[in-house]
Structure 1
């Protein structure tokens, strides 16, 4: 029997996989074509729900939309694009079940706000009647962190625990608006001092129990918290702690 080439999943592997999920702006979506019996791959824009579940916005005119309606099983490939050999950079393959969201529900409206923070240009077409959001309910993943670094991962390895974060969509929206309006200096320092980002006007675009996302143009950075938060009451102290750390590095 051939030796299993995968490594035991550790903290670093989980962190890398979650960073790929939270920062990827696009991915390759593979769906099943029952008529031909062949897989069908499409390039899609990708956002994330609070727990990290991928979100996609599709038109009824798209082939992959009709294929997901017939068979919701799918796979999504996310990668960290960089210079040199593309196979030397991390990538993550997710296996999932696609779930269409009713656009009239509160859930879909909150996801719309979250998605547009990551893809602001999608506001041009997000409300077209033939467009709808889909949540990809992740069942497992396969992470390749570079040559010789392969991991098989469960949904528990990949998604954040939201069980103690009730009504967090509204909390997150208020916190993001406040930070961008009143503490833009701290937001910029998060990016430049703690994430190694370039100088510029950065915006906070996402908060979850395990970290935050920051955006400048097409660049998205992930800043993970030292440890997962246990509830919304810990968000403000953590942001203050990180701001103080960033300011001390900038001094």
Structure 2
């Protein structure tokens, strides 16, 4: 049964049960039905069923925390005190790590221009750190232009004294992330600085929604467990599974006349697909829509993610070939799907 709510094309929630899966056959263990409704408590103490889509997308604070956690470098923007450009934004390439609360910690030379700008601005001055997935020193893979997530953290920056409770932890964390640090962190010319966020801005990619993130929600958020491997997973899917992706768009997403499908994101809750198709009545007009294909359960490893994605591919193939599961249940009917962006240009 398909449930349509807003842009949710197939909204389901989990009941107790496990789906056993292998190529060539489907093994269904105990109760494998996925219900489209969940039980909620009514005001009078009774219960009633309400349509509740599953959580198949990371929330924005989680996305922002994921970007800042995966990246190990970014652009630090300070206000220039140099003659002739005084007050102009000054950008510097910097390395950083995060402390336990997600605050960026930087090791900076006191002679660097950005350090001089910070010192001249005085206590409480604001700076912005911009980080982007796919940068040259991130573990998420090569840069992909504007089609990547990024995060701008604006806040106050202060020198960290050696008496700080997390001093030893920060030194160790920085040394692990940046191999050169052991050679300079004991120099009297280098000092650690902590950026405490007051404003955080997250952008999901080119043409994707952007949003301000409350610092307290960012602080509590957990980075996605697949973040460091997402780029390699996407690369392999786009390189080796073109036919599977086309089938998924046609059979699971019900897109007609599919021209191209590309995976643009993968995390513990699902994957994002960008689907290009031809308009039914105007064959020379291409439409590009964004979809979210959710996993039935959150994954906790790369292997789990691969398994969930292969299940979607298998069910798309089975639906294409008229396979049923013995009780007239159509393969792929209970895959959670969300349409996240639509090409409205006519």
Q: How much has 1:11 moved relative to structure 2? A: 4.1
Q: How much has 1:122 moved relative to structure 2? A: 1.2
Q: Structure 1 CA distance, aligned partners of 2:131 and 2:109?
A: 21
Bigger radius of gyration, 1 or 2?
2
Structure 2 residue aligned with 1:139, among 176, 189, 198?
198
CA RMSD, Structure 1 to Structure 2 (Å): 3.6
Q: Tell me, yes or no, if structure 1 residue 21 matches structure 2 residue 65.
A: no
Which blocks of at least 5 consecutive residues in structure 2 are unaligned? 1-56, 135-140, 233-266, 269-299, 308-346
The aligned counterpart of 2:258 is none
Q: TM-score, normalised on structure 1?
A: 0.59
Q: Is the 8 A contact 1:108 1:133 kept in 2?
A: no
Q: Is the 8 A contact 1:31 1:68 kept in 2?
A: yes
Q: How much has 1:17 moved relative to structure 2? A: 0.8
Q: Structure 2 CA distance, aligned partners of 1:105 and 1:94?
A: 22
Q: Structure 1 CA distance, aligned partners of 2:167 and 2:188?
A: 14
Q: Tell me, yes or no, if structure 1 residue 56 matches structure 2 residue 109.
A: no
Structure 2 residue aligned with 1:93, among 152, 161, 167?
152
Structure 2 residue aligned with 1:67, among 111, 117, 122?
117
Q: How much has 1:34 moved relative to structure 2? A: 4.1
Q: How much has 1:104 moved relative to structure 2? A: 4.8
Which blocks of at least 5 consecutive residues in structure 1 are unaligned? 1-9, 162-189, 199-222, 225-241
The aligned counterpart of 2:90 is 40
Q: Structure 2 CA distance, aligned partners of 1:100 and 1:42?
A: 18
Larger helix fraction of residues: 1
After superposition, the C-alpha distances for 1:97-156 in whole angstroms (9 at most, x for unaligned) are 101111354432331122222223311111111111000000111111012311111102
Q: Structure 2 CA distance, aligned partners of 1:136 and 1:122?
A: 19
Q: How much has 1:61 moved relative to structure 2? A: 1.1
Q: TM-score, normalised on structure 2?
A: 0.44
SS at match of 1:18: helix
In structure 2, the CA distance between the partners of 1:84 and 1:124, relative to structure 1 (3 Å rule), is closer
Structure 1 residue aligned with 2:179, among 93, 112, 120?
120
The aligned counterpart of 2:214 is 154
Q: Tell me, yes or no, if structure 1 residue 30 matches structure 2 residue 77.
A: yes
Q: Is the 8 A contact 1:103 1:132 kept in 2?
A: no
In structure 2, the CA distance between the partners of 1:101 and 1:87, relative to structure 1 (3 Å rule), is same
Q: Is the 8 A contact 1:80 1:91 kept in 2?
A: yes
Q: Is the 8 A contact 1:89 1:145 kept in 2?
A: yes
After superposition, the C-alpha distances for 1:1-32 in whole angstroms (9 at most, x for unaligned) are xxxxxxxxx84322211111111110000001
In structure 2, the CA distance between the partners of 1:69 and 1:140, relative to structure 1 (3 Å rule), is same
The aligned counterpart of 1:164 is none
